[in-house]
Structure 1
Amino acid sequence: MIFRELVLQNFGQYGSRQTIALTPLQPTQPIILIGGQNGHGKTTLLDAIRLALYGHRAPCSNRGNLAYGDFLRQCLHRASPDQPATIELAFQQTLNSQPTEFRLCRTWRMDDKRDTLTVWRDGDPDAALTKGWDEFIEAVLPLGIANLFLFDGEQVKDLAEQDDLPPAVIGAMRSLLGLELPDRLTTDLDVLLRRKQKALATDTQRHHLDQLEQQLEQLEQQKKAANQALASIKPRLEQAENERDRAEALFLAEGGKIAAQQHQLEAQVQALREAYAAEQHHLRELAAGVLPLSLIQPLLAAAEPQLQAALEQQQQAIAQAILAAHHQRLLDFAQTLKLRPQQFRQLHAFLEAEQAAASPVNPASNPWPDSTAEILAHLRHTLHHTLPAARQQAQAHLQQARSHQADLDSTERYLLSAAAPEAYAKLQHAVRHAQAQVNQLAADYHQAQAHLDRVKQAIEQVRRDLVSYSEWAIARQNTDHLIHSIGRVQTILSEFKTRLKRRKLNQLETLVTECFLYLLHKPHLVNRIQIDADTFRLALFDAAGDPLPKHRLSAGEKQLLAIALLWGLARASRRPLPVAIDTPLGRLDAAHRQNLVERYFPQASHQVILLSTDTEIRQEEATALRQQRAIAREYLLHYDSATQQTTVQSKYFW
C-alpha cells in the first residue's frame, strides 16, 4: 500500500481545502517530512488517515467515549461549523498483481449522526466497494494491527514507561500471532455445547409437531378462502374503474369541467375586458395629443428646413438695416471732414458696394414672414422627440389591446361550452358516485390481499418449524456424540493454540531483538529479548544470560525499545504498509537521535510519514536525512490565529 494524497476541508484546524501529496518520489526516498508546532494539526493529520480508513471504528486521539456523531461534530472547524467537513484519502494497493488506485471520501455536517462514504476504484465510483468497505479494509490493513503502522509519540511513551503493554498493542500482537481464530473457535464450541445440552433437556417436540401439522392444514383452508374472496372482488373493481373512467370522460365532453370553473372564467373575462378598456383609454389620450400629427409627418419634416431658411433671411434683413444706418452715419461724418468730391464719391461707392454684398439673395421669397426661433425649436422637438415617443406608446398599447381582445374572445368561446347547472350537477354526481364505488372496492381488495399475505406468511413459518422438527429426530441421535466430541476438540485446540503462540513468539522475539540492537548505540547492553506467552511482557537478558531489568535502561533506550517492538511487530506482519509516526523523538539524546534518524526512519517502510515539531527533528536531523537523500517531500503546518486555520506549505522549518 502507498498513500497517494490526503485532502482535508473544514476538519479540525484545517478550514480551507488543503491537499498534501504523500507519494514517495524514489524507492530510496521513503520519507514524507511534515513539520508543525504543537496544536497546529499534526495529530489531526494522523486522525484524518485513521478516520478515512476506518470510519466509526477509527481509534482517533481525542474521541474518548464520545458517540460517533458527537465526535464528528467535534471535528468540524470551529470557525465554520455550519459548513460540511471532508476527508479524502487516495492510496494504491496491488490486487491480483495489478496496481489499483483507491480514493475514499468521507463527508458530514453538523446535524449528521454518521458520515457519508464514497469509494472510487481507478477513478470510477464503486457502489459495491463502498457498501462493503469495512470488510475490504480489514483484508488490506486490519484495524487490529493499524497501531503498528500509524502510531504517535504518546503510544511510544506508554510502551517505554509501562511494564505491561497497552491493550491496543496486545491486541495487535494477538492478531499477528493468529490467536484470534483459536479463541473464536473455542468460544463457538462453548456456545454449541450449551445449545446441544439445552436441546436434550426438553422432550415436548412430538406434541408440538402434531400441533404444527394441524395449524398448517387450517392455514391452507384459510388461504383457499382468501384467494376466492380476492378473485371475486377483482372483476367488480375493474368494472367500477371502467364506470368511473366513462363518467369522467362524459364529464369532460359535456363541459362539466368548464362549468366547475365558471366563476373563475367569468372573473377572468371581466378582468380582460377591464384591461382592454384601459388600453383603449390610453390610446384615446394619445390621440388627443400630438399623435394625429403622425399623419402629416412628411410635411412637418419638409417645413423644418424652410423655417430655418426664413429665420436666416430675417436675420440678414435686420443686419442689412443696421449696416445701412451705420453707412449713413459714416457718410454724414465724412462730409464734416471736407473731403474732396472725388474722395467722397469713392467712399460713397464703396459703401454702396458693401451694402449690396450684404443684401439678402431673394428677400421677397420668404414664405414665413412671422417665423421665430421658438417656433423652429418647437417643431424640431415635436418631430424628433414628442411624436416618436407618442407613436411608440401607441404601438405598445395597441399591441396589448389586441392581445387582451384575443384572450377575451378565446375565453368567452370556451365559457360558452360550459354545461348547464342542472346538467353539471348530474355529471358531477355520476363521477362522485363512480369514484366512491372504486374506493370501496379498492379498500376491500387491499384488505383481502393483506389477509392473504398474512396467511401465506403464517404458512411459511409453520413449514419452517416443521422442517426443523422433522430434523429433530436425526439431530437428537447425533447430539450425544457431538457433545462428547466437543470436549476432545477443545483439548486439542488448546494445545494447538499454545504451540502456535510459542512458535510465533519465538519469531517475534528474534525480530524485536534484531531491531533493538540495530537501533541501540550500546551493542553489548542486551543480548536477547523474551516475550511472556501469557502477559506479553518484555524481558531483557544480557550476554551472560542474566535478566536485565527494564528500569536500568535510560529514558532514550526505553523509547528505542518501544520503537523496536513496533518495528518488529510490523515486520512480523509481512504486510507492505506505510508507516506514519507522530512526534517520534520525544526524549532521545543526541546519539539515540542519530541512530533513529540514520537507521530507522529510512528503513521503517517503503513510505514513512514523519510528523514532528522543530525540537524533535531539528535542523541537524533534517540535514542528515537530506544528505542521505531519504526525504521525498517536505511540508510545514502554518497556523494563522487570525483566521484560526492551518495551511500546508511546501517547506520544512529550515
Structure 2
Amino acid sequence: MIFTELVLNNFGAYAGRHVINLRPENNGTMHPIILFGGMNGGGKTTLMDAIRLALYGQRAKCSGRGNLGYGDFLTQLVNRQTLPEQTTEIELSFESIFDNHWQTFKITRAWKRYPAEGKDSISIIRQDGYDSNLQENWDEYIESILPLGISNLFLFDGEQVKELAELDAPPPSVVDAINSLLGLELAEKLAVDLEVLASRKRKDLASKAQLATIEEIEAKIKEKEKAEKIAFDKVISLEDRLKKAHQKSDRASSKFRTEGGKIAAERSSLEEQKNNLIAQQKKQQEQLRILAAKTLPLGLIDNLLADAEVTGKQELKIQQFKQAQSLIDERDEKLLAYLKDIGTSEEYNTKVQFFIEEENKSLENTINSHGSAYLEITEDEFQQFISISKNKLSLQQKQAKDILNELQQISNEMDAIDKQLTLAASPEEYDKLQKAKDRAVQAVSQCKSDLDLAKTQKNQLTLEIEKAKKELKNYSQKIIDSDNNQHIVNSITKVQKTLELFKEKLTLKKLNKLENEITECFRYLLYKSNLVYKVVVDSDSFSLSLYDPQGKLLPKQRLSAGEKQLLAIAFLWGLARVSGKKLPIAIDTPLGRLDSSHRTNLIERYFPSASHQVILLSTDTEIGEKEIVTLREQEAIAREYLLEYNADNGHTTVNSGYFW
C-alpha cells in the first residue's frame, strides 16, 4: 500500500483547497521519506487526523475528538471561515493490491458545517471509475488491508511513543493490536464460536424442567442486557446533557462577566481603590501648593529672568570699567612724567599723550554706550540671583513636572475605575445574574452526579450479566446426559483445550520471532549496541524484559529516557516487520526527548528503513538543520513541505521546501 495524494478542502486550519503529493519518489527514483515541517499548532496533527478520518470515517481514532458524537466532531473540523453552503472535503489517494492486481484508489469524504444525520458522504473511485460495491462495503475492505486495530502501530505520534516508553506493559489498545497483528485473535474468535455451539447442544440435552431453567436464566440475561443497553444510552444522553450544561454554565459566567456582574461583585474593592487614589491626589496637590509658595512661580517669567541675567552681567562689567578708569588715569600721569624725566623729545611725548587720550575716550564711550545702571546689582546679589534662577527654580520645575505626571496617572486610574463602576450591574441585576450563574453551576454538578450514578448502574448490570452467563454455563454443564450430543459437547471441551494449547504455542512461536525482530531493531538503533543482548516479550502482558550480554536481567529503569523511547520505537518497528504487511508509516513529532546521539541513530537508521513510505511531521527543533542535511545526503527524502501558520487569519498553507 502506498499513499499517493492527500487533498484538504476547508478542513481544520486549511482554508480553501490544498493538494499534497505523497508519492515516495523523485524524478522516477524511489525515496521513502515525505517530510512535513511545521511549528506547534501549525496543522501537523490535523494532517494525521485527515488520513485516519479518510480511511476509517466514524471509527477513526482522531485527536481532540474525546466524547464528541461524529456529527459534532465533523462540525468542529470545518474551517471557521467556511460559508454554510460550502463543503469540507478530504481526498486520500493510494495504490494497493486488488484482485491480485496493483490498482489505484481515491477515497473522498465530504460534509457541510452541520452534516445531515451527523454523517459525511463517502465515494470510492477505483481505477478512475466509481465502485459502488466497494463504497457500501468500505469498512470491511479497509480492514483487509489496514485494520483499524493495528493502525496505531503504523500511524502514531511522539506522545504515543513516550507513553509506551514509560509503561511497564503496553496499554490495552496496543495489546489488542498485537493480538490482531500476530493472528492470535482468530483462536479467541474460534473459542467463542465453539462456546456458542456448545450452548446450543446443551439446550438439546436438557430435560424440559432443566430447559425451562436454562430459558429462565437466558431470559434473565436478555432482560439485563436490555437494561444494560438502556443504561448505556442513558450514560450517552447524560454525557450530552453534561456537555450542554457546561456550555450553559460557560454562557452564564460570560454573561455575568460582560453585563457587569463581576464588576458589581468587586464594587467595594473598586471604591476602596478610588478612595485611595483620591487621598494620593490630595497629597500630591498639597506638594504642588508647597512648591508654588516658593520660587516655582518665577518659572512664569522665564523671558524676564533671562533679560535680567544679561542686564546684570552688563552692569557688573560697567562697574568694573569705572573702577579701572581711575587707576588707568593715575598710571597715564606717571607715564607722561616718566617720559619727561628721561628726556624724550616733545614730539614723541605729544604722540604718546594723544594715544592715551584716544584710549580714554574709547573707554568712556564704551561705558556710556551701556547706558545708565538701573538694577544697581552687586556681584554677590548677582550670584544669588543666578543660584535661584538656574538651580533652585530648575529643581522645583522638575519636581512640579513629576507631581503633575503622577496626578495625571492618578486621574487616568480614577477614570478607569469610574468607567468600570458605570458598567457595574445594579444590585437587582447583579442578584439576577448571580442566581443564573449559580443555577448553571448547580446544573453541571447535578449532571455529573446523575452521570456517575448512571455509569455505576450500567457497570453493575454488566457484572450481573457476566454472573448470569457464568451461572448458565455452570448449570448447563451439570445437566448434560445425552450420548450423542454429549459426545459433541465433550469434543468441544477437548477442542477448546486443544485450541488453548494451540494458541499458547502459536503465541510462543510468534513472540519468538517478534523478540528477535525487536532485539535486532533496538540494537541497531542504540549507539551502545553492547548494552542489550536480548529482548524478551512476556506471553501474557506483552511487557518487555532486557538481558545484557552476560545473560543477566537489565532493569528497564536503568535506561535513559531517550533509550526507553528507542525501545518503544524498536517495539513498534519489530511488530511492523513481523506482520509482513507492506504499509506506509506516518509519525507525528517523532524525536521527543532523544539526546543528540540517539537522535542521530534514529535519523540515519530508522527513518530511511522503517518502511517503503515514511511520512514525518516535525518541528524545527526535532529534525533541525543538521538532521535535514543528513537525510538529504542519504537521498532518503522524496518530498519536503512546510506548513506555515498565519496567526492573523488562523490559516495554514502548505508550501514546498523545509525550514532550511
- TM-score normalised by L of structure 1: 0.57
Q: Deviations over 1:203-252 (max 9, x none)?
A: 499xxxxxxxxxxxxxxxxxxxxxxxxxxxxxxxxxxxxxxxxxxxxxxx
**Which residue number in structure 2 is paired with residue 171 of structure 1?**
176
In structure 2, distance between residues paired with 1:513 and 1:62: 35
* Alignment equivalent of 1:139, drawn from 123, 144, 147: 144
In structure 2, distance between residues paired with 1:602 and 1:645: 31
In structure 2, distance between residues paired with 1:47 and 1:601: 21
Whichever residue aligns with residue 35 of structure 1, its letter is: G
In structure 2, distance between residues paired with 1:531 and 1:158: 18
Q: Deviations over 1:369-412 (max 9, x none)?
A: xxxxxxxxxxxxxxxxxxxxxxxxxxxxxxxxxxxxxxxxxxxx
**Which residue number in structure 2 is paired with residue 86 of structure 1?**
89
Give the secondary-structure state (helix, strand or coil) at the position aligned to 1:103: strand
* Alignment equivalent of 2:188, drawn from 176, 183, 187: 183
Whichever residue aligns with residue 577 of structure 2, its letter is: R
**Which residue number in structure 2 is paired with residue 32 of structure 1?**
34
* Per-residue deviation, 1:202: 5.2
* Per-residue deviation, 1:191: 2.2
Q: Deviations over 1:306-363 (max 9, x none)?
A: xxxxxxxxxxxxxxxxxxxxxxxxxxxxxxxxxxxxxxxxxxxxxxxxxxxxxxxxxx
* Per-residue deviation, 1:485: 1.4
* Per-residue deviation, 1:147: 1.1
Whichever residue aligns with residue 569 of structure 1, its letter is: L
In structure 2, distance between residues paired with 1:89 and 1:56: 16
* Per-residue deviation, 1:478: 4.4
2:564 paired with 1:558: yes
Whichever residue aligns with residue 168 of structure 2, its letter is: D
Q: Could you tell me whether the CA contact under 8 Å between 1:5 and 1:90 is conserved in 2?
A: yes
Q: Deviations over 1:448-500 (max 9, x none)?
A: xxxxxxxxxxxxxxxxxxxxxxxxxxxx8843322221111111111000000
Q: Could you tell me whether the CA contact under 8 Å between 1:582 and 1:612 is conserved in 2?
A: yes
Q: Deviations over 1:614-654 (max 9, x none)?
A: 11000110111111111110001111223221110011111
**Which residue number in structure 1 is paired with residue 600 of structure 2?**
594
In structure 2, distance between residues paired with 1:152 and 1:604: 14
2:51 paired with 1:49: yes
Q: Where do 1:503-652 residues align within 5 Å?
A: 503-652=509-658
In structure 2, distance between residues paired with 1:642 and 1:32: 28
In structure 2, distance between residues paired with 1:204 and 1:183: 33
Q: Deviations over 1:73-104 (max 9, x none)?
A: 22111232663211100001133453200000
Q: Where do 1:432-447 residues align within 5 Å?
A: none
- Could you tell me which runs of 5 or more consecutive residues in structure 2 were left unpaired when the two chains were aligned: 211-481
In structure 2, distance between residues paired with 1:121 and 1:601: 30
* Per-residue deviation, 1:153: 0.6
In structure 2, distance between residues paired with 1:34 and 1:202: 69
In structure 2, distance between residues paired with 1:506 and 1:83: 54
2:113 paired with 1:107: no
Higher mean displacement: 486-495 or 169-178: 169-178
Whichever residue aligns with residue 114 of structure 2, its letter is: D
Whichever residue aligns with residue 604 of structure 2, its letter is: E
In structure 2, distance between residues paired with 1:190 and 1:23: 47
In structure 2, distance between residues paired with 1:543 and 1:508: 19
**Which residue number in structure 1 is paired with residue 101 of structure 2?**
98
Give the secondary-structure state (helix, strand or coil) at the position aligned to 1:603: coil
Give the secondary-structure state (helix, strand or coil) at the position aligned to 1:602: coil
Q: Deviations over 1:143-162 (max 9, x none)?
A: 12111111101110111111
Give the secondary-structure state (helix, strand or coil) at the position aligned to 2:63: coil
2:8 paired with 1:8: yes
* Per-residue deviation, 1:50: 0.7
2:503 paired with 1:501: no
* Per-residue deviation, 1:28: 4.6
Q: Could you tell me whether the CA contact under 8 Å between 1:556 and 1:589 is conserved in 2?
A: yes
**Which residue number in structure 2 is paired with residue 128 of structure 1?**
133
**Which residue number in structure 2 is paired with residue 194 of structure 1?**
199
Give the secondary-structure state (helix, strand or coil) at the position aligned to 1:45: helix
In structure 2, distance between residues paired with 1:76 and 1:166: 32
Query: Which structure would you say has the larger Rg?
Result: 1
* Per-residue deviation, 1:124: 0.5
* Per-residue deviation, 1:590: 0.9
In structure 2, distance between residues paired with 1:622 and 1:138: 35
Whichever residue aligns with residue 514 of structure 2, its letter is: L
In structure 2, distance between residues paired with 1:565 and 1:78: 40
**Which residue number in structure 2 is paired with residue 491 of structure 1?**
497
**Which residue number in structure 2 is paired with residue 71 of structure 1?**
73
Q: Could you tell me whether the CA contact under 8 Å between 1:88 and 1:105 is conserved in 2?
A: yes
In structure 1, distance between residues paired with 2:205 and 2:80: 62
Q: Could you tell me whether the CA contact under 8 Å between 1:8 and 1:87 is conserved in 2?
A: yes
Whichever residue aligns with residue 123 of structure 2, its letter is: T
Whichever residue aligns with residue 152 of structure 2, its letter is: N
Give the secondary-structure state (helix, strand or coil) at the position aligned to 2:143: helix
Give the secondary-structure state (helix, strand or coil) at the position aligned to 1:5: strand
In structure 2, distance between residues paired with 1:96 and 1:83: 37
Q: Could you tell me whether the CA contact under 8 Å between 1:16 and 1:645 is conserved in 2?
A: no
In structure 2, distance between residues paired with 1:631 and 1:111: 40
Question: Aligned-pair RMSD on alpha carbons?
Answer: 2.0
* Per-residue deviation, 1:72: 1.4
Whichever residue aligns with residue 641 of structure 2, its letter is: Y
Q: Could you tell me whether the CA contact under 8 Å between 1:513 and 1:528 is conserved in 2?
A: yes
In structure 2, distance between residues paired with 1:92 and 1:163: 38
Q: Could you tell me whether the CA contact under 8 Å between 1:28 and 1:629 is conserved in 2?
A: no
Give the secondary-structure state (helix, strand or coil) at the position aligned to 2:194: helix
- Could you tell me which runs of 5 or more consecutive residues in structure 1 were left unpaired when the two chains were aligned: 206-475
Q: Deviations over 1:14-67 (max 9, x none)?
A: 121111100011555111110001111101101110110111111112222222
Q: Could you tell me whether the CA contact under 8 Å between 1:541 and 1:548 is conserved in 2?
A: yes
* Per-residue deviation, 1:12: 1.3
Give the secondary-structure state (helix, strand or coil) at the position aligned to 2:15: coil
In structure 2, distance between residues paired with 1:480 and 1:67: 48
**Which residue number in structure 2 is paired with residue 18 of structure 1?**
18
Give the secondary-structure state (helix, strand or coil) at the position aligned to 2:607: helix
User: Number of aligned pairs?
Assistant: 386
Q: Could you tell me whether the CA contact under 8 Å between 1:79 and 1:644 is conserved in 2?
A: no
**Which residue number in structure 1 is paired with residue 274 of structure 2?**
none
Q: Where do 1:9-408 residues align within 5 Å?
A: 9-25=9-25, 28-80=30-82, 83-112=86-115, 113-201=118-206, 203=208
* Per-residue deviation, 1:517: 0.4
Whichever residue aligns with residue 153 of structure 1, its letter is: G
Give the secondary-structure state (helix, strand or coil) at the position aligned to 2:68: coil
Q: Could you tell me whether the CA contact under 8 Å between 1:189 and 1:490 is conserved in 2?
A: yes
In structure 2, distance between residues paired with 1:30 and 1:586: 21
**Which residue number in structure 1 is paired with residue 303 of structure 2?**
none
In structure 1, distance between residues paired with 2:41 and 2:525: 30
In structure 2, distance between residues paired with 1:41 and 1:549: 39
Give the secondary-structure state (helix, strand or coil) at the position aligned to 2:104: strand
**Which residue number in structure 1 is paired with residue 374 of structure 2?**
none
Whichever residue aligns with residue 169 of structure 1, its letter is: V
Higher mean displacement: 491-500 or 59-68: 59-68
Give the secondary-structure state (helix, strand or coil) at the position aligned to 1:53: helix
